[in-house]
Amino acid sequence: MTERAHYDWVVIGAGPAGQKAAIQGAKDGLRVLVVDQGRAPGGECVNRGTIPSKTLRETAQHYAALERRSAGALHCQLSPDVQLAGLMLRVDEVREAHARTLSGQLLRNGVEFRQSRARFVGVRELELRTPGGAKSVVTGDKVFIAVGSRPRTPDDVPVDHELVLDSDSILSLVYLPHSLVVLGAGVIAVEFASIFASLGVEVTIVDRFALPVGFMDQDLSRGFVRAFEARGGRFLGSTKYKRVQGDGLGQVEVELETGEVLRAEKVLSALGRVANLKGLALEATGLAPTERGHLAVDAHGETKVPGIYACGDVVGPPALASTSMEQGRRAARHALGRPVPDEELGMVPCGIYTIPELASVGLSEAQAREKYGAILIGRASFHELARGMIQGADEGFLKLITDATGTRILGCHVLGDGAAELVHLAELAMLGALPVDTFVDRTFNFPTLAEAYRVAALEVIAQRVPLARAA
């Protein structure tokens, strides 16, 4: 006889979105079950995404910064036969420690975790199958679909995980390649491209759009290209590939529509991701993926079927761990009858862990001009700051966008070391409705990169004076 059980909430997927949704419900006294195929919580983020890639990035960043910060006094060169695993010695330790932390959080909050494959057999009814084949059926008053995503593999890109890799298999390389072509210029593409370029690999990015990470402020996109090419990389924007195939000699040929043929030891296909909906039997709920393979949801994360929510990568871009966490939390609050005000949705910061980092919060310059017309912009270059001089941060900058009066902060965009940390100051200032003058009136530690806020604010204030006189 098949075991049956009922829960207040059933969460499918134990990645960032699912975990936050589950804990939110458990804190409200609900009986919550989390189901995931993995043996421990974390999902793609812990096992193949954020944690492993950022561990490699940490090595690459320190390696690239050593010569720059020593003004050339120190020079290092990686051995031509260096093994990639040797650059990621701590990845298993970090991954296991983070998984233990996530498991502990679920346990402390009374969330039940099961390693199983789930498929719908009714609107809010699921069949679970353990790795050993045992089956059970669970039902929930609310169901959250947070199953994450996997790399998209176009039919014309022969991903074999040896010469042509995807974002899951690239970290399984034995040796650091001498050359790499990256197809795509989204978040995953630019992160890996900058990591490998910083490790001395000849990297070429090919993308059909003019600028990488096109959803970000154009100054950040252009700044990334300058920094990437300064490290020896090559960015080919507004360019489409025509053919990708091995040359029979251990390399890959990428023929472009321009006629140019790129040859490299490896190719990374980073042409987007698709939601992990296969095997869920969504038809039993009346749901179906969109044309792009995602689940459509409203502003609160609820699908067209009442009581079924979706959050994280399954709902589409930006598909970042931070935004997935927030989507999970917001969906859970709505399910509890406590929706988050819509005006806060634009205050979720975005951090991209390229070398150097990119980060933003609020509106881009283009968005601000479209919405408000006249705006003021203040900029600060890291190389003008004492801390930036010490670090040799020639490429970093901070950009503040305000309304036409130069008072209200509409957006902030940062490129450089620590950008993902620095942007939180702007986020808090915006949430607190603090005027831009706050960055001038308050005291910053010296020397710090946070002083960039004062420099950028002063530039905004300087533009206010002529406007006031003209009035």
63-69 own/partner pairs: CB under 8 Å, 24+ apart: 63/198, 63/199, 64/198, 64/199, 64/231, 64/355, 65/391, 65/392, 65/417, 68/392, 69/391, 69/392
Across the chain, mean pLDDT equals 89
**How confident is the model over 178-194, as pLDDT tens digits?**
999 999 999 999 999 99
Q: Is the pLDDT assigned to residue 45 strictly greater than 50?
A: no
Instruction: With a cut of 70, say whether residue 77 has pLDDT above it.
Output: no
Top pLDDT among 321 and 225 is at 225
pLDDT at 159 over 60: yes
Q: Which two tokens stand for residue 429?
A: 């200032």
Give the pTM: 0.88
Place 73 in a pLDDT band, splitting at 50, 70 and 90: low
The band of 291, judged by pLDDT with boundaries at 50, 70 and 90, is: confident
**Which is more confidently placed, 39 or 365?**
365
pLDDT over 80 (residue 147): yes
- Say if residues 170 and 199 touch (Cβ distance below 8 Å): no
Higher pLDDT, 293 or 98: 293
Helices within 336-414 (DSSP H only): 365-372, 386-391
| Stated length of the chain | 471
Structure tokens at 351: 């951090």
Q: pLDDT band for 76, please (50, 70, 90 cuts).
A: low
Mean pLDDT, residues 252-262 taken together: 96
> If you average pLDDT over residues 78-90, what whole number do you get?
64
Amino acid sitting at position 15: G
pLDDT score recorded for residue 34: 95
376-417: pLDDT as tens digits:
999 999 999 999 998 888 889 999 999 999 999 999 999 999
Distance CA 127, CA 10 (A): 12
What angle, rounded to 10 degrees, do the helices at 187-198 and 50-69 form?
40
| Three-state secondary-structure class, residue 225 | helix
Say which range, 220-234, 339-353, 407-421, 448-462, has the weakest mean pLDDT. Answer: 339-353
Q: Is 378 helix (H, G, I), strand (E, B) or coil?
A: strand
Q: In this model, does residue 271 exceed pLDDT 80?
A: yes
Quick one: pLDDT at residue 85? 63
Token representation of residue 115? 């390693």
Closest C-alpha among 420, 421, 461, 417 to residue 439: 461
Q: Is the pLDDT assigned to residue 70 strictly greater than 60?
A: no
**Once rounded to an integer, what is the mean pLDDT over residues 296-325?**
91
Contact 411, 398 (CB under 8 A): no
With a cut of 90, say whether residue 130 has pLDDT above it: yes
Residue 17 DSSP one-character state:
H
Average pLDDT on 130-146 reads 95
Q: According to the model, what pLDDT value does residue 317 have?
A: 83
Instruction: Indicate whether 11 pLDDT > 70.
Output: yes
